[in-house]
C-alpha cells in the first residue's frame, strides 16, 4: 500500500493594500513544480470572523464532524 503525503503550509500575509504579493516558498517545496495558492480575504476583521462563525453553526457538515469527534 502506498501512502501519499501532502505538505500544507498556511500563512497569513499582510498586503497593505498592494496589488502584488511575493511568497518565499519553504525549503520543502524546492523540488516541486506546482503549488496551489488560495487567496481568501474572509479573515480581514474580527467582525468578519464572527460572522463566519455564525454561519458555521448552521453548517450540517461541520455539525456532523463535531458530533463524530465528540463521541
Average pLDDT estimate for 56-64 = 86
Which residue has better confidence, 5 or 65? 65
Alpha-carbon gap, residue 64 to 70, rounded angstroms: 10
> Does the pLDDT of residue 54 top 80, yes or no?
yes
pLDDT of residue 3: 55
Alpha-carbon distance values, 22 to 19, 34, 37, 38 (Å): 10, 16, 12, 14
pLDDT of residue 26: 82
pLDDT of residue 5: 61
Amino acid at each position: 500500500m502506498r501512502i501519499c503525503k501532502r505538505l500544507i503550509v498556511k500563512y497569513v500575509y499582510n498586503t497593505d493594500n498592494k496589488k502584488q504579493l511575493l511568497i518565499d516558498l519553504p525549503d520543502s517545496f524546492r523540488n516541486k513544480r506546482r503549488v496551489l495558492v488560495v487567496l481568501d480575504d474572509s479573515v480581514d476583521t474580527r467582525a468578519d470572523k464572527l460572522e463566519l462563525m455564525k454561519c458555521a453553526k448552521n453548517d450540517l457538515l461541520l455539525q456532523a464532524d463535531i458530533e463524530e469527534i465528540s463521541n
